[in-house]
Amino acid sequence: MPILTKDEAYALLKKVLSYSKADECEVNLGGTDSGNIRYARNSVSTSGKVSQTQLVVTSAYGKKSGVATINEFDDASLEKVVRRSEELAQLAPENPEYMPLLGPQTYAEPITFVQATAAITPKLRSDLVAASLQVAKDAKAVAAGFLEDTTGYSAMMNSKGLFAYNTSTNTNFSITVRTEDGRGSGYATRGYNDITKLDTKKATQIATEKAVRSAEAKAIEPGKYTVILEPAAVAVLLERIFFGLDARQADEGRSFLSKAGGGTKLGEKMLDERVNIYSDPLNPELPTSTWNGDGRPQEKISWIEKGVVKNLSYSRYWAEKKGVKAIPGPDGAIMEGGTKSLEELIAGTKKGVLVTRLWYIRDVDPQSLLLTGLTRDGTFYIENGKIQYPIKNFRFNESPVIMLNNLEELGKVERTVSVESNVNYLLPPLKIRDFTFSSLSDAV
Amino acid sequence: MKRRDFIYLSGLGAAASMLPGIPLMGNPIDPSRALETVDVSLKKQMADVALNAARSKGATYTDVRIGRYLNQFVVTREDKVQNIVNTESYGMGVRVVANGGWGFAATDKLDKDSIAKAAEQAVAIAKENSRLLSEPVRLAPQKGFGEVSWKAPIEKNSFEVPIKEKVDLLLNVNDAAMKAGADYVNSILFMVNEQKYFASSDGSYIDQDVHRIWPTFFITKIDKATGKFETRNALSSPMGMGYEYLYARPQDKIQGITPLYKGRYDMIEDARFAGQQAGEKLKAKSVEAGKYDLILDPSHLWLTIHESTGHPTELDRVLGYEANFAGTSFLTLDKWESKKFNYGSKLVNIFADKTQVGSLGAVGYDDEGVKCGQWDIIKDGILVNYQVIRDQAHILKLDASQGCCYADNWSSIQFQRMANISLQPGKEKKSIDDMIKNVEKGIYIIGDGSFSIDQQRYNFQFGGQLYYEIKNGKIVGMLKDVAYQSNTQEFWNSCTAIADSNDYRLGGSFFDGKGQPGQVSAVSHGSSTTRFNGVNVINTGRNI
């Protein structure tokens, strides 16, 4: 099924709702076209294209609701799916936390769709990969990478008059280049809504340079070091804070945002005062949807301001119980940075470790948000403002909360992609003191 | 489905952060539809449309997977049912070799034209990308099996059990945990049925019916005064079984410091112990960092086997196909060729088995039509084999694939995935008590917890659910803030004792992540309680 226009989606959803006999009915419609190429050992390994569409109907009687779906769009099928959701609602147990549907909402016009990305051809994908492969081959290095693009639309309408529509495009690219002898490895990742901004050649050059420079790594003692974390490394640590902003968990006493004696850290200074984190669906560098899955508007929200916890996210149920605005969690997060480039941060560092990326991040203790993981694909020792030599990878045990209290400097913000969640962020490189490396790894 | 959507769906919040990501689960459906099946002759007709279309466009090899993936989730917290979800994902994936390269396309529209178009797209993609190939695909020969079928040997189809029975079970579990002192409990039943049909230009038409189940819970106990909290997760294991996994029997329990479960699971009993133990954890002694002898229960050791043996012996990782994501492997081909790479102590025998009854990875045939079997990976401590699929077999000079190919959905491209990889039980008669009785300074670890390993599988760190201090052969109390760090080869060489086959149990993962785009697979790992000497333990307690 092609990407439906706003008018087409409106007409289809209106028709589905016309079949409803329940107290409340909500219909979600969405479809995606996605394509990808994966390569390794300087050669394409897999490549594919997938199209999917779905229509989801939720019907409710009182606090009992039922959900049914279909991917056929003739009138009989549409009526059948509504009837089925109603039957399921009648059979469902009552959910005391069920919230009545939202009425009409006002949404900002989203800026998530770029025609050039939607118009991608197999040849363009293949050209972008060919450009990347050529860089690695010229350097007698070995490339492994992944390019994917998605074009999609989503729409929803309910019996209380709510209607929302959005189209979006996205492309993520990541590249690992290894030296032929396997002793050096480098990495770069990029994410954009607009595929014309993607320069696979330049990203591969960065990864190649890191690979070549990271061979001959020396072992240095684990311990506490000043580190410069590139944005890809910052992303995987900070997103544990972004994912953990839920008010209910904090109110219940089982979050790093809970306080001794009860209550939460909302309104308290928790991090260095230079830490400002927010989300903004209309940021031109990181546009996201202007509404979320249950129809609430996504607006610009400050989460951390001058180190103070400014807002927490709420389900509609928990917000009503607490008598506060039901702010949904962020789709993408933005951290304010400084003016210095990565090179300038390095130049101002007497002794430290440059970290290209971090890998296999797992929670060790949800109470302190202690995380563990390892450096990977380009770890270098800095002395007197210069990269001196590559060093062997470390395992770290560190909490992003402790880390953002040990902040030395913030660099210039750039868009990056989390290798753990695939979510895009706008983040600066960070210089952090006393970052805890607990053991050495032989991995390259 | 993304991890965030799953958290939203399950209403789990922080508790869900202990679960790995979950892929696209499919569309919600009426539960009764899960009991319907697609007629096998219709599937053959659809497959033939794709096979013929691909051949006519120049494909030299084609395989077609028609998949119907059913999931049911029942999600509760304390005394509330939060969500009951039934999903179905139904469609077809077509994979071809054309001009020497792979191409793939998938569709959820299963009319004749859409199927033919998907097949043609797969051929077009293969041809377009063939200019970027360094060498053509070489497939190990595989005979066609004709029309065959395989069904998981389950006793009770989970999808036939009424929702009410499942809801009642979970609410009773929650009640038991709360009565035992828990402040919060989230409990979940995951049930999966994969109805998979495979057809290939080699002449196979294979119909398979796969079932999996995972009952689990997450319990939290809070000390309001200090603001500290502790959690205790279920000691269940995801299994390749039907609902019978939840019909506990006395003969399937191992009585020790806490009940342990073998093949059947008493969820209510485990929740009762968990409620108490979460409270004990709050008061437990914080571990003193240092070297300890570790006694690892199978409910914990499965994950260490998974990460430190399962992944580094996947041949695609060894060769570099996963370099951009999960990484490569320290178990390079020269180590295998030498036939003397000392992976572990002489006690260590690790095998792959795609047929083990009740395991998550058990199937009759893999997702490229290869009949499944078993083979040795580590023999008397020496690396002897890897895990391979058809386009890799020639690299090991094998004349057939080992049947390790899997895709998590019709819309995903099949690739090399981990077989069930398990540690052979010890040959000498030894119980859990025998394992503990000679330990001077040690820790007995039960249940899986935090886990992390580097991209070549050398350096790892693991936590658990329950930690008991052992002094002079006796358990003296509970510990907290425990994690151990080691290097794979050093760790497996420190293995000094393995309990016998009476203690052999399966653990496993529903959601082992790999590949780009990311896919999950379900895999089991069996072991008996095992001892490792002198392992480095760190203290993970911090204040923020």
CATH architecture assignment, domain A6-211? 2-Layer Sandwich (3.30)
| Residue of B455, B465, B480 to mutate for A, most A C-beta atoms under 10 A | B455
Structural domains of chain B, with CATH:
3-283 (3.30.2290.10), 286-539 (no CATH)
Q: B135 CB near a chain A CB, below 8 Å?
A: yes
Residue A106 distance to chain B (closest CA, Å): 23
Q: Which of A376-385, B79-88, B465-474 bottoms out in mean pLDDT, i.e. has the lowest? A: B79-88
pLDDT at A88: 82
- Is B525 a residue whose pLDDT tops 50? yes
Residue B84's closest chain A neighbor by CA?
A: A92
- Is B24 a residue whose pLDDT tops 60? no
Residue B229's closest chain A neighbor by CA?
A: A254
CA–CA distances in Å: residue A431 to residues A334, A361, A386, A435, B3:
17, 19, 15, 10, 29
CB contact under 8 A, B17 and A244: yes
Question: Can you tell me whether residue A317 is helix, strand or coil?
Answer: helix
Average confidence score pLDDT of chain B:
92
Question: Can you tell me whether residue B154 is helix, strand or coil?
Answer: coil
Q: Angle, to 10 degrees, between the axis of helix A6-18 and the axis of helix A75-91?
A: 60
- Is B120 a residue whose pLDDT tops 60? yes
Note which residues in 196-235 of chain A have CB less than 8 A from chain B: none
CB pairs under 8 A between A and B: 265
CB contact under 8 A, A47 and B129: yes
CB B465 within 8 A of CB B443: no
Residue A366 distance to chain B (closest CA, Å): 8
Spatial CA neighbour of B462 closest among A443, A220, A243, A395: A395
User: What does B257-301 look like in DSSP terms, one character per residue?
Assistant: SS-EESSS--HHHHHHHHHHHHHHHHHSEEPPPEEEEEEE-HHHH
- Is B492 a residue whose pLDDT tops 50? yes
Residues of chain B in contact with residue A247, where contact means CB-CB under 8 angstroms, are: none
pLDDT at A92: 82
Largest Cα separation within chain A, whole Å, is 73
Q: Tell me the C-alpha distance between A394 and A142, whole Å.
A: 23
Residue A261's closest chain B neighbor by CA?
A: B225
Summarised one tens digit per residue, pLDDT across range B230-268 is 999 999 999 999 999 999 999 999 999 999 999 999 999
Q: How confident is the model at residue B88 (pLDDT cuts 50, 70, 90)?
A: confident
Residue B481's closest chain A neighbor by CA?
A: A365
Q: Tell me the C-alpha distance between A372 and A364, whole Å.
A: 6
CB contact under 8 A, A69 and B224: no
Q: What is the 3-state secondary structure of B187-225?
A: EEEEEEEEEEEEEECCCEEEEEEEEEEEEEEEEEEEECC
Residues of chain A in contact with residue B183, where contact means CB-CB under 8 angstroms, are: 252-253
| B108, B121, B132: residue with CB nearest A129 | B132
Residue B9 distance to chain A (closest CA, Å): 11
Residue A442 distance to chain B (closest CA, Å): 6
Residue intervals in chain A for CATH 3.30.2290.10 = 6-211
Residues β-bridged to residue B475: B470
The whole-number average pLDDT for the span B173-199 is 97
pLDDT at B15: 32
- Is B9 a residue whose pLDDT tops 50? no
The whole-number average pLDDT for the span B373-402 is 96
Q: What percent of chain A has pLDDT over 70?
A: 100
Q: Tell me the C-alpha distance between A258 and A281, whole Å.
A: 28
Q: B222 CB near a chain A CB, below 8 Å?
A: yes
Summarised one tens digit per residue, pLDDT across range A77-95 is 899 889 989 988 888 888 8
Residue numbers in chain A where pLDDT is lower than 70: 1
pLDDT at B84: 81
Residue A208 distance to chain B (closest CA, Å): 13
Q: How confident is the model at residue B31 (pLDDT cuts 50, 70, 90)?
A: low
The whole-number average pLDDT for the span B71-92 is 87
Residues whose CB falls within 8 Å of the CB of residue B223, separated by 6 or more in sequence, listed in order: B229, B282
CB contact under 8 A, B454 and A359: yes
Other CB atoms within a 10 A radius of the CB of residue A171 amount to 27
Burial class (CB in 10 A: 0-12, 13-18, 19+), B233: buried
Q: Tell me the C-alpha distance between B296 and B466, whole Å.
A: 11
Q: Tell me the C-alpha distance between B22 and B37, whole Å.
A: 25
Q: Tell me the C-alpha distance between B219 and B253, whole Å.
A: 22
Spatial CA neighbour of A169 closest among A206, A114, A123: A114
- Is B22 a residue whose pLDDT tops 60? no
Q: What percent of chain B has pLDDT over 70?
A: 94
Q: From the centroid of its chain, how far is CA B143?
A: 29
Other CB atoms within a 10 A radius of the CB of residue B128 amount to 21
Q: Tell me the C-alpha distance between A370 and A365, whole Å.
A: 5
pLDDT at B20: 28
pLDDT at B194: 96
Q: Tell me the C-alpha distance between B474 and B468, whole Å.
A: 10
Give the phi and the psi of residue B465 in degrees, each rounded to 5: -100, -45
The residue count of chain A comes to: 444
CA–CA distances in Å: residue A217 to residues A38, A100, A267, A379, B14:
29, 60, 45, 9, 38
Q: How confident is the model at residue B2 (pLDDT cuts 50, 70, 90)?
A: very low
Q: B409 CB near a chain A CB, below 8 Å?
A: no
Burial class (CB in 10 A: 0-12, 13-18, 19+), A442: middle
The whole-number average pLDDT for the span B388-416 is 95
pLDDT at B29: 62
Spatial CA neighbour of A180 closest among A42, A356, A362: A42
pLDDT at B60: 98
What's the pTM value of the predicted model, to 2 decimals? 0.94
Q: Tell me the C-alpha distance between A333 and A303, whole Å.
A: 9
Tell me, what amino acid is at B234? A
Residues of chain B in contact with residue A41, where contact means CB-CB under 8 angstroms, are: 134, 319-321
CB B71 within 8 A of CB B87: yes
B203 Rama class: left (phi>0) / alpha (psi -120 to 50) / beta: left
Summarised one tens digit per residue, pLDDT across range B331-358 is 999 999 999 999 999 999 999 999 999 9
CB contact under 8 A, A376 and B3: no
| B455, B483, B544: residue with CB nearest A368 | B544
Q: How confident is the model at residue B1 (pLDDT cuts 50, 70, 90)?
A: very low
Of residues B508 and B109, more confidence is placed in: B508
CB A136 within 8 A of CB A208: yes
Residues β-bridged to residue A70: A55
Residues of chain B in contact with residue A421, where contact means CB-CB under 8 angstroms, are: 2-4, 21
Of residues A66 and B532, more confidence is placed in: B532
| A175, A254, A442: residue with CB nearest B222 | A254
Q: Considering Cα of A316, then A319, then A325, then A331, what sign does the dihedral take?
A: negative
- Is B183 a residue whose pLDDT tops 70? yes
Token pair for residue B307?
A: 């990460």
pLDDT at B21: 29
CB contact under 8 A, B222 and A47: no
